[in-house]
Chains A and B, each alone.
Chain A
Amino acid sequence: MNRFRRQFASGLLTLLVASVAALGLHEKFGALPDYAFLTGWALLAGMFVLTIYNVRKKLPFLPLGKSESWLQLHIYLGFFTTLLFLIHLHFRLPHGWFELTLAWLFVLVSGSGMVGLFFSRVLPRRLATRGGEVIFEKIPALRHALKTAAENLALGADAKSPVIAEFYTKRLAPFFSGPKNFWLHLVESRRSASALLAELEDRRRFANDAERGKIEVLLALVRQKDGLDYHRSLQLALRLWLFVHIPLTYGLLIFTALHIVLVFGFSGGAR
Chain B
Amino acid sequence: MSEQPPAPDFDAQNYARPNQNWICGHAWQGNACRQGPDAKGRCRATAECKPVLETKPGETKGRWRCTRPGCVCEAGPLPDGSCCRPIAKCSPVPTLRVWRGRATLAVVATACAMLLVLLGNPPWRNQFISPGEISDAHSGAAFAALAATNHLNQNCGACHVAGNSGPDGMVNAALGAEPGIFELKKLAIAIPAEPTAIDESCLKCHAGRNFHQPAAPPVSCSFCHAEHQGGVIAATTDANCNFCHGDAAKMSVANQGKNGAPPVIHHFAEDHPQFRFITEKWRDPDTLKFNHALHLTGATIPNLTGGEKLDCTFCHQPDAAGAFMRPVAFEKNCHVCHSLQFDPDTPQLMLPHGSAEYVSAFLRSLPKQYADLAAKENQADANGFVQQKLAGLRTQFGSGEDLERRVFFSTATLGPETQIGTLSGSTRALFPGCAYCHEVKTAASGLPQITRPMMPERWLAQAKFNHAKHATISCAQCHDAVHSKDTADIILPAKETCMACHSPRGGVADSCAECHTYHKPQVAAH
Contact = CB atoms under 8 A, between A and B. Distances in A.
A82 B179 CA distance: 27
B7 A258 contact: no
A170 to B, nearest CB: 23
A144 B187 contact: no
Contact of A239 (B4, B96, B180, B229): B96
Contacts of B238: 31
Interface in B177-202: 177-181, 184, 187-188, 190, 192, 196-199
A50 interface: no
Interface in B1-19: 1-8, 16, 18
Contacts of A99: 131-132
Contacts of A225: 5
Contact of B107 (A41, A96, A247, A264): A247
Contact of B16 (A98, A137, A145, A265): A137
Interface stretch (A11-19, A70-78, A160-168, A216-224): A216-224
Nearest to A227: B5
Contact of A228 (B5, B27, B96): B5
B127 interface: yes
Contact of A131 (B1, B7, B106): B7
Interface of chain B, helix or strand or loop or mixed?
helix
A95 B132 CA distance: 5
Interface in B152-190: 156, 160-163, 169-175, 177-181, 184, 187-188, 190
A220 B197 contact: no
B444 to A, nearest CB: 62
Query: Does more than half of chain A's interface fall in helix, strand or loop, or is it mixed?
Result: helix
A265 B171 CA distance: 7
A97 interface: yes
Contacts of B385: none
A11 to B, nearest CB: 27
B128 interface: yes
Interface string B395-423: 00000000000000000000000000000
Contacts of B87: none
B429 interface: no
A190 B369 CA distance: 113
Interface in B261-277: none
A130 interface: yes
Contact of B197 (A32, A138, A255, A270): A270
Interface string A253-271: 0110010111111111111
Q: How large is the interface on A (under 10, 10 to 19, 20 to 34, 35 or more residues)?
A: 35 or more
A231 interface: yes
B204 to A, nearest CB: 15
B247 to A, nearest CB: 12
B33 interface: no
A134 interface: yes
Given A242-B100, A265-B173, A130 B197 contact: no
A140 interface: yes
Nearest to A133: B7
A136 interface: yes
B427 interface: no
Given A31-B239, A144-B30, A270-B196, A250 B177 contact: no
B129 A98 contact: yes
Contact of B192 (A34, A135, A223, A255): A34
Nearest to B107: A247
B107 A251 contact: yes
A140 B29 CA distance: 7
B303 interface: no
Contact of A269 (B115, B196, B229, B243): B196
Contact of B239 (A32, A230, A242): A32
Interface string A207-240: 0000000001101110111011011000000010
27 contacts: A35-B192, A94-B131, A95-B131, A98-B128, A137-B27, A145-B30, A223-B3, A228-B5, A243-B99, A243-B103, A246-B104, A247-B100, A247-B103, A247-B104, A247-B106, A250-B107, A251-B110, A254-B111, A255-B111, A258-B115, A260-B174, A262-B174, A264-B173, A265-B171, A269-B197, A270-B220, A270-B222
Interface of B: 1-8, 16, 18, 23, 27-30, 32, 95-96, 99-100, 103-104, 106-108, 110-112, 115, 127-133, 156, 160-163, 169-175, 177-181, 184, 187-188, 190, 192, 196-199, 220, 222-223, 226, 228-230, 237-240, 242-243
Given A38-B187, A265-B162, 11 more contacts: A31-B238, A31-B239, A35-B192, A97-B127, A130-B4, A141-B29, A144-B30, A243-B103, A247-B100, A266-B129, A268-B198
